[in-house]
A and B are shown apart, each in its own frame.
Chain A
Amino acid sequence: MALADYAYYYALRNISREVVAKSLMSKIQISSSHHRWNNLTLGSIDKAAINYARLEWPKYYSDRTHHGFKYSWETIYRKFIHRPSLFDIAIWEKIDGVQVLQGLAIGKPSNGKTHLVINWVERSFAPSYLKGGVLLIILACAEEYAKLLGCKRVLIHSPVDDGKYQRYGYAPYKLTKVCGRYLCKDL
């Protein structure tokens, strides 16, 4: 039964990425902004993504950007993978024929599938970073996956630089008996 659960949620995540990719493509075609979003691949977090984040991203860590997390992405991923309904995404961009990892995100829904929480996000700080940023794509995929799960809202747990999420429709969310800091968007 567990294998079927994995297949079901894997298919839903894949569908959510396809919906977002189509949306992005249609927007690119009418807005002449292809240089910002060209040659992207939206996929699952896999060994290649984990290795890239471990080997390449630290080269650009600094006091002005980010020093990485306490945990490796491999450790984070292992904590989530036992939940078939996890949310995950790896955003790749092909630059001069080379696949460059631009962003990773992972989260999970609540038991009743009323909320989808994004728990971890990291981006590349290399000079080749995606001009349009990874947040728009990550949040769009999370929202579509949440819709497919039947969730009422998407939450972001303790993002750095909260203000940047306002333009995506996210606002502070208070929960009784919960001290954590969340941003929320109703679907």
Chain B
Amino acid sequence: MNAATYLEFEATFVETKDELANAIEAAHARSAHVYANGTCTLIDTISAADFANWDGSDELAIVCDPDGLDYEHSEFDEHFGAVA
């Protein structure tokens, strides 16, 4: 590896690390913005009494996309545009 290649490699390496750190920082900034007024999840909307007796054991909890795995031609994506 000559000096020029080494410098290029080092520069790329540093840039990549910064990109990742910036991405994670951006995610936390987004979270702070979205939750600026606190959080209210689906779980929070359930009363304590209902939650104490919550039973989901009879739920099938099965979702099977009838489009299979052909997401290149999903009708939903055609309607709203391809996924990023």
Residues of A with Cβ closer than 8 Å to B?
A: 1, 3-5, 7-9, 11-12, 15, 19-20, 22-24, 27, 30-33, 36, 65-66, 69-71, 75-76, 79, 83-85, 103, 105, 108-115, 117-123, 129-136, 138-140, 143-144, 147-148, 155-161, 164, 168-169, 175-182
Closest to A108 in B: B83
Q: What is the total of A-B residue contacts with beta carbons within 8 Å?
A: 194
- What residues of chain B lie closer than 8 Å to A122, measured between beta carbons? 61-63
Given contacts A3-B19, A148-B31, contact A120 B39 (CB under 8 A): no
Given contacts A3-B20, A19-B35, A27-B44, contact A111 B61 (CB under 8 A): no
Q: Is the interface of A mostly helix, strand, loop or mixed?
A: mixed
- What residues of chain A lie closer than 8 Å to B54, measured between beta carbons? 33, 36, 132-133, 136
B56 to chain A, nearest CB (A): 2
A7 is contacted by which of B23, B51, B66 (Cβ under 8 Å)?
B23
Give the distance in Å from the alpha carbon of A24 to the alpha carbon of B51 in the complex. Answer: 10
In the bound complex, do residue A4 and residue B61 qualify as a contact, i.e. CB atoms below 8 Å apart? no
Interface size on B, residues (CB 8 A): 50
Residues of B with Cβ closer than 8 Å to A?
A: 16, 19-20, 22-24, 26-28, 30-31, 34-35, 39, 41-44, 46, 48-49, 51-57, 59-69, 71, 75-84
